[in-house]
Amino acid sequence: MTQESKAYTETTEGIRISVSPSYEASESNPAIGKFIYSYQVTIENLSNDTVKLLSRHWHIVDSIQVRREVNGEGVIGQQPELQPGDTFQYMSWCPLHSPIGKMFGTYTFINLNEKKTFEVTIPEFLLVSDFKLN
């Protein structure tokens, strides 16, 4: 059973980012400090311009203060282009060494109409294992 997903949402420069995390009990092994979380990201272009996601920058923190940063091109091997009104959705996952953590970050987009890059905030979201909810 996975934790009930709560959506975390933030809008920056007309780009709405929503994240819904879940604890993956069947993939985790708390006895050895392996806690696996999945998260679904929805990117909505609420602006009047066509945009393209170029890169991501994630901050991952767990409750034993292990901190990591992940940078890279695109998401899940893609650099989606979104027309006004378009939505792009993907699933990813994250391992932690403790039952509680959080993630947050930014995406870098380019406005294809104006040829200008800009940062979009990925809202901070909590990663909490099922047994910590009791």
Q: Which of 28, 25, 8 is nearest to 17 (CA)?
A: 8
Q: How far is the C-alpha of 7 from the C-alpha of 131, rounded, in Å?
A: 20
From first to last of its 134 residues, the chain has per-residue pLDDT tens of 344 558 999 999 999 999 999 999 999 999 999 999 999 999 999 999 999 999 999 999 999 888 999 999 999 999 999 999 999 999 999 999 999 999 999 999 999 999 999 999 999 999 999 765 44
What is the DSSP code string of the chain? -PPPP--EEEEETTEEEEEEEEE-GGG-BGGGTBEEEEEEEEEEE-SSS-EEEEEEEEEEEETT--EEEEEEESBTTB--EE-TT-EEEEEEEEEESSSEEEEEEEEEEEETTTTEEEEEEEEEEEEE-GGG--
Q: What tokens does 44 get?
A: 């909505």
- pTM, rounded to two decimals: 0.91
Name the fold adopted by 8-127: Immunoglobulin-like (2.60.40)
pLDDT score for 66:
85
Buried b (16+ CB within 10 A) or exposed e, 80-110: bebeeeeeeeeeeebbbebbebbbbbbbbbb
Strand 100-111, strand 51-62: pairing: antiparallel
